[in-house]
Structure 1
Amino acid sequence: MPRPMATSSHHHPLPELLQSLDIPQEFKKYDNATPQEQADFQSWTQKAPSRLNDLKLALQGRYEDIDIEVLGKVVAKVSPFAYDVASLCGDDGHAAYEEERNVLGNETPWITPSSKASSPKVVYHLASSRRYPALTRVTRDSCCPLIHRAKGALVKHSFHHPKSEDHLSKEESQSITQDFFESEGQIWKNTIGLGAIVYWCIDNIEPGTYMDVWHLIVPPVMTFLDDYQPRYKLWGLLVAQRMLRDVSPNLLKTTGIHGLLKSILAHQDSPLSPTILRLSISQSLRLTLLTTTEAIRATLDALPELIQALDIGCTRFLQSLLPQLLHPLTLPSNQGPIPGRPSLDLLQLQLQNSALRVLIPLMRVCAPRIHGWRLTILDALVRCWVTMFLQAKGDSDDEDEGDVREALKPTGYLENVDVERIEDNQRCLAALLQTAAYGLVQLCPSLAIAEYPQLLKLDPKSLGGLLPKLASQGL
């Protein structure tokens, strides 16, 4: 363990203060520590806040003229105290279970409430004009081994743009990847807190400058995501989650992050698996929506089997899944889900059908939680139904209302359906909307007594077909 340090910054030069914040390697064995080692850990963590405060005092008034190399070291030493896994996992709006919080807390055991509160103050006065130089310095100095050793893994996942000439042969890629996993490729793990260092870099990138630094940032993220140890996959997911707030879709297309997010879904059998699965599913969906529109439907089509397998476990993903599933259903009638396409479009209909095929089983397996979402889901179903009804009526000016209603009536929507025909997709959409609406009423019977009758009074012609059995009962 590092030697105890005095609390006065006036008696210790800056290099010694920085060295005092080196996180001991023994923290990597925290889960299996002996009682004596636990006591040593506790002693070290209790001293960290005063050391951070000493560093802040030593830097006071020097942020503008301090050497950029030293400033990079300051960031590298301080950021592991600023970002704890448990808090970052809550940034996606999901509340973790107590068991999950306990597991996540052990991932950054050197952080205490005091050290977490003290760490941002150290770099708070870092001017924006110096953040970019500090960021590039941190990535080159602290992440250099990670970047260089990442190449084998990155080649495997097509990190380079498809038109790049920097591809390696399959044999070369396998050789480098084997070296990455079996020899010096893991040396970067000696830097405890490296995930937080990378996160600081992402957290301090101006949205418009991603293209300038992506070659420094993406390799560490990819390496974390592709690592065989769950704790590093988790850090990769957290960093990717932060990137998705600001990153350009065009930049995402040049990386293999999407493929890694999907691969993470397999072979999860560690205590961190619940968190990893939740983050990878939600981020994969978000990333899909930010990139190719055709891939949205393919992703949605793959989800029903996953929902059946996870069953009630899907409740953890509701907050991420439902907005993505309802979005294609709730757009205005004059705007399709794909910019530049007409409102009634084959791809739009296919996307809506795919979304409903996920929504229906999701409501069933997450029945205990659906009541809180009932009005949001009903709103989406009603909007989609009315839009479809008006479109069908507009396309059938020579038909009377009864003919339009009959055209919308579903008759064996899984039989004799040509997925490339707009008419067949409309028929599927009508049936799926009815199925979803009836399923929602079964889970939330109050809808049949309160909300749906009120809607029916407002527009009985168009809404009568959504739940015809209830409408025929005069509700």
Structure 2
Amino acid sequence: MSENDLREILECLQIPSEYAHAETAETIARLNSWKSTSTHLLRDLSRLAKEKELSVAEQANVIAAAVSFDGENSWTSPESHALATEILSDFSEPDSSLMFQLLETDVNPLFRPSLHPSLNPSTGRKLDRPAGGPMGTQDFYETQTWKKYPAAGNLVSWCLRHIQSQDYDRLWYLVIPPIMTFLDDYQVPYKLEGVRMVEELLQHVPREILKRTGVDGLILTSLNTCLAQLDDAESPQLIQTAISASLSLSLLTTNLGSSAQFDQLCALLGERIVGTIWLYSYDKPGVVQASVDSLPPLLSALGLGCCRYLKALIPQLLHPLLPVPFTTAPFDLQISSLHVLTVIMNECPCRMSQWQGTILDGISRCWVNSTETQLTANHSGVEKLKKHLRSSCEALAKVCPTIIEGEFRRLLVADYEMFQDLVAGIA
């Protein structure tokens, strides 16, 4: 195969922009035909990449074409994904010059027409004031030509997975604009891709670059905005991922035990989760579930600092345990809430004596309701829930030993048959 053959294959493998908004039956049929053809083209590309000695520019182009199929997208099939993986295996350790070529010629041209208003495009540093004035953000949203390239996210993510830590200084101005473009988009699916990019970035980037360029604060502000997106079908995934990324960012860019770290973690828990997510998503169980699932590592990072939020945390976590007539028990949320309660007990043992009665009341009510549910319907989640209720009582007894001879004994005296499996034998 000649150089022209390579160029022709690469052009034919460009993902059709219609994949971003395929609506009509005619369009879908045409895309399915292209999808079938792309498999044959990838097979030819794989063979050509092995036969021909590729220049750095050609290597970058081959990577860009293969990476487009390196994911679970509507334009990929199991076979095309396998072929893409095979091609990319030859580039598993790209050097700095290849990464520069890929970012410079295949990634950044997609985003240059839509420059992020808060970034200097030449340095990747945060600007003191947004470019374009008050309407700069509106212009940024109106010129989103990068959305015509459905595989743009695949390209950026692959680069983030393969850039070496020592190369970020050289590549920073090419790396950060695409990430921030995704992260600050107004559509939740793109925001979610952006947050995942941030998570990947934080695994490798030196903290000094984030702080020196001011991008740490820029990312944190954008992640906070993500935590207010509560109404989309993908909001639960966005919330959980954004909380995780915010925690990772704070731990990376602040010193352990410093007031700055404590303030950032408190803002994440108090202002974002308690003051925003829980306040405005009482009727969105998926969002609440995602926020509760995200709490354990944040609470562990805060340690004893969780004490200042017990009045908000404990009632919220006990609420799913309380039976509601004519309502199906939210088993997953109940189990998640019990897990978080156990974390709180371990992190704040000195304050549990004030809450032991409240916690046991919620646990025992849930136990009674679960037992009655088990008698009428053998739901698979009931037995798992009851094991977690028992474990929570064991954790409570460790931090409040007096509860064993106090409240536990009174439960057994009141109804031994009902509560023996919950508290009997706990020492």
Question: Residue 361 of structure 1: which of 309, 316, 337 is its match?
Answer: 316
Mark the runs of 5 or more structure 2 residues left unpaired by the alignment: 254-260, 322-329, 369-385, 413-423
Calculate the TM-score normalised by the size of structure 2: 0.72
1:110 aligns with 2:75: yes
Distance of aligned partners of 1:78 and 1:167 in 2 relative to their CA distance in 1, 3 Å threshold:
same
SS of corresponding position for 1:23? coil
The equivalent residue for 1:321 is: 294
CA distance in 1, matches of 2:88, 2:388: 57
Amino acid at match of 1:215: Y
The equivalent residue for 1:304 is: 274
Question: Residue 140 of structure 2: which of 177, 180, 198 is its match?
Answer: 180
Amino acid at match of 2:295: L
Question: Residue 463 of structure 1: which of 401, 408, 419 is its match?
Answer: 401
Question: Residue 39 of structure 1: which of 19, 29, 34 is its match?
Answer: 29
Query: Does the CA-based 8 Å contact 1:145-1:187 persist in structure 2?
Result: no
CA distance in 2, matches of 1:452, 1:224: 41
Q: CA deviation at 1:321?
A: 1.6
Q: CA deviation at 1:432?
A: 4.6
Mark the runs of 5 or more structure 1 residues left unpaired by the alignment: 1-8, 85-107, 329-336, 338-347, 389-425
The equivalent residue for 1:294 is: 263
Question: Residue 128 of structure 2: which of 167, 189, 212 is its match?
Answer: 167
Amino acid at match of 2:408: L
SS of corresponding position for 1:153? coil
CA distance in 1, matches of 2:85, 2:388: 53
CA distance in 1, matches of 2:13, 2:43: 11
CA distance in 2, matches of 1:281, 1:59: 41
1:439 aligns with 2:362: yes
The equivalent residue for 2:194 is: 236
More helix per residue: 2
Calculate the TM-score normalised by the size of structure 1: 0.66
The equivalent residue for 1:13 is: 5
CA distance in 1, matches of 2:109, 2:66: 20
1:36-435 alignment runs, 5 A limit: 36-60=26-50, 62=52, 65-84=53-72, 108-126=73-91, 128=93, 130-146=94-110, 148-149=112-113, 151-155=115-119, 167-168=128-129, 172-182=132-142, 185-253=143-211, 254-255=214-215, 256-266=218-228, 269-291=231-253, 292-302=261-271, 303-305=273-275, 306-311=277-282, 312-314=285-287, 316-317=289-290, 320-328=293-301, 349-354=304-309, 357-358=312-313, 360-365=315-320, 368-369=331-332, 372-373=335-336, 376-377=339-340, 379-384=342-347, 386=349, 388=350, 430-432=353-355, 435=358
Query: Does the CA-based 8 Å contact 1:356-1:432 persist in structure 2?
Result: no
Aligned length, in residue pairs: 371
Q: Deviations over 1:152-209 (max 9, x none)?
A: 43259xx9767xxx534x6743354343333xx3233333311111111011123454
Q: CA deviation at 1:60?
A: 0.6
Distance of aligned partners of 1:450 and 1:67 in 2 relative to their CA distance in 1, 3 Å threshold:
closer
SS of corresponding position for 1:317? helix
CA distance in 1, matches of 2:11, 2:173: 29
SS of corresponding position for 2:294? helix
CA distance in 2, matches of 1:444, 1:319: 21
Q: CA deviation at 1:38?
A: 1.7
Q: CA deviation at 1:361?
A: 0.6
Query: Does the CA-based 8 Å contact 1:68-1:134 persist in structure 2?
Result: yes
Q: CA deviation at 1:240?
A: 2.0
CA distance in 2, matches of 1:378, 1:229: 34
Distance of aligned partners of 1:149 and 1:467 in 2 relative to their CA distance in 1, 3 Å threshold:
farther
CA distance in 1, matches of 2:44, 2:146: 28
Query: Does the CA-based 8 Å contact 2:202-2:249 persist in structure 1?
Result: yes
CA distance in 2, matches of 1:225, 1:180: 13
Query: Does the CA-based 8 Å contact 1:211-1:251 persist in structure 2?
Result: yes
Query: Does the CA-based 8 Å contact 1:374-1:444 persist in structure 2?
Result: no
Query: Does the CA-based 8 Å contact 2:67-2:88 persist in structure 1?
Result: no
Q: Deviations over 1:282-312 (max 9, x none)?
A: 4334434444332111221122242243232
Distance of aligned partners of 1:363 and 1:455 in 2 relative to their CA distance in 1, 3 Å threshold:
closer
CA distance in 2, matches of 1:269, 1:314: 9
CA distance in 2, matches of 1:193, 1:452: 46
Q: CA deviation at 1:228?
A: 2.5
Query: Does the CA-based 8 Å contact 1:371-1:444 persist in structure 2?
Result: no
Query: Does the CA-based 8 Å contact 1:353-1:432 persist in structure 2?
Result: no
The equivalent residue for 1:344 is: none
> Percent identity of the aligned residues?
23
Q: CA deviation at 1:264?
A: 2.5
Q: CA deviation at 1:319?
A: 7.0
Q: CA deviation at 1:241?
A: 3.0
Amino acid at match of 1:324: P
Q: CA deviation at 1:55?
A: 0.5
CA distance in 1, matches of 2:405, 2:268: 29
Amino acid at match of 2:9: L
